[in-house]
Amino acid sequence: MMRAMQHRLGTVFVLSATAGLITSGCCALFGEEETHPAPGQEVKSSKARVTSPVLPEGDLDELVTGNTAFALNLYQQVRSQDGNVFFSPHSISLALAMTYAGARTETEQQMADALKFTLPQERLHAAFSALDQELASRGAGDGDSAGFRLNIVNRIWGQTGYSFLEAFLDTLAENYGAGLNLLDFVNQLEQSRIAINEWVSQETKGKIKDLIPAGALTSLTRLVLTNAIYFKAAWAEPFEESATADGSFTLLDGSPVTVPMMTQVAGFRYAAGDGYQAIELPYEGRELSMVVLLPDAGNFEAFEVALDAVTLQGIVDALAAREIRLTTPRFTFEWSVGLTEALSMLGMPLAFSANADFSGMDGTHGLLIQDVLHKAFVAVDEEGTEAAAATAVIVGLTAVPPPALSVTVDRPFVFLIRDVETGAILFLGRVVNPAS
């Protein structure tokens, strides 16, 4: 079993001349000669990851309750899309929590309401840290077997030379284990996109590729906050591959399709209620599980519309052990979504507008969220489940650069060829008739 990856600890922030700011591309500490770290380097905090956060009683439960409510609210926003849906609300909440650390005034309040963050900022981030480390301990007794892997990592990517507040980056270092990795969105846009996508692919074992599509980053981008999660676990009660056979699966329109159906008889926790059945499939170690919610035929839409955090909790509470002959499909698919519209509908439109207040990031009112991108993958077979997801929150400048100045060389001109460093003029001339 592979535990969640340990986050790297920071060492030193690079300080700008402005008190409390971190300039992500220069160093002038204690009279040292100024240097310019190249894109790809990491600017690290002097604040180490807090490995054993002390929380007030109930904070962790309150965080999970709010995250669950957000997960079901977000599901209601995205379920209108055609076909399969699969996402990681934990990944999305983590990436937006890091962004929330820099939100202030009405932007902060809207984000808290939409994301169901009910704890004050300092306790919220400590609770996320505690939850992260709690999840990192899952499967600890199984000794790194291949039967269980859970890897959750965060990374932030900042524009080289741009100043961020020290307190903001301290919060990310202490609670999310994230240093500031320097990229140049202004001059190396495509290289920056590739670097982020390669990191995501690596952290998800190649299951999430091209999280950030071409065009999502712009020369106004100043910060990208990312989370990646990878999960692979064997069933506590694996299915026999020899028992898998083609079977019929009825679509929403009533038409049948033939798919591989896995079958076994074993003890599972099960519940049945008004219009649904539910069954819990535990993974090896029985610390994590999959819960399948199966609405009655013809009741899928009504069940889906009514599904919220309270309903889900009631179903989970009703699960009880019994012997079940389970037949379920084997499947694999990936799903991606842009979350700007969904999050705006949930109550945080200000974060995406020119009036956004992320002054907790850089001390100015010049940043907004340009986009929130999410992609997920899942494969369920006889042995278990493999799932991966990644989220990117793209933060950029609110100011639109002035339109390009038009210069047309359509009349006689003088030109020269010079050595840039010395200024030596090597060639000098004029053009009065380019056609002659």
The 10s digit of each residue's pLDDT in 366-424 is: 999 999 999 999 999 999 999 999 999 999 998 765 666 776 767 776 666 666 676 76
Report angle CA 195, 203, 214 to the nearest 5 degrees: 35
Report angle CA 274, 80, 66 to the nearest 5 degrees: 70
Question: What is the pLDDT, as a whole number, of residue 35?
Answer: 43
Q: How far, in Å, CA of 350 to CA of 97, rounded?
A: 16
Nearest alpha carbon to residue 395 among 427, 363, 366: 366
Q: How far, in Å, CA of 62 to CA of 325, rounded?
A: 37
Predicted confidence (pLDDT) at residue 432 exceeds the cutoff of 90: no
Question: What is the pLDDT, as a whole number, of residue 210?
Answer: 97
Structure tokens at 178: 């994230």
The 10s digit of each residue's pLDDT in 81-104 is: 888 999 999 999 999 999 999 999
Question: What is the pLDDT, as a whole number, of residue 204?
Answer: 97
The 10s digit of each residue's pLDDT in 125-174 is: 999 999 999 898 887 554 445 678 999 999 999 999 999 999 999 999 99
Domain range summary for the chain, segments of one domain joined by +: 21-234+332-397, 245-329
| Whole-number CA gyration radius for the chain | 26
CATH number assigned to the domain with residue range 21-234+332-397, chosen from the 4 options 3.40.50.620, 3.30.497.10, 3.40.190.10, 3.40.640.10: 3.30.497.10
Q: What average pLDDT does range 43-49 have in this prediction? A: 80
Predicted confidence (pLDDT) at residue 31 exceeds the cutoff of 60: no
Q: How far, in Å, CA of 124 to CA of 152, rounded?
A: 18
**Residue in the structure block whose two tokens are 């506590």:** 236
CATH number assigned to the domain with residue range 245-329, chosen from the 4 options 2.40.128.20, 3.40.50.300, 3.40.50.880, 2.30.39.10: 2.30.39.10
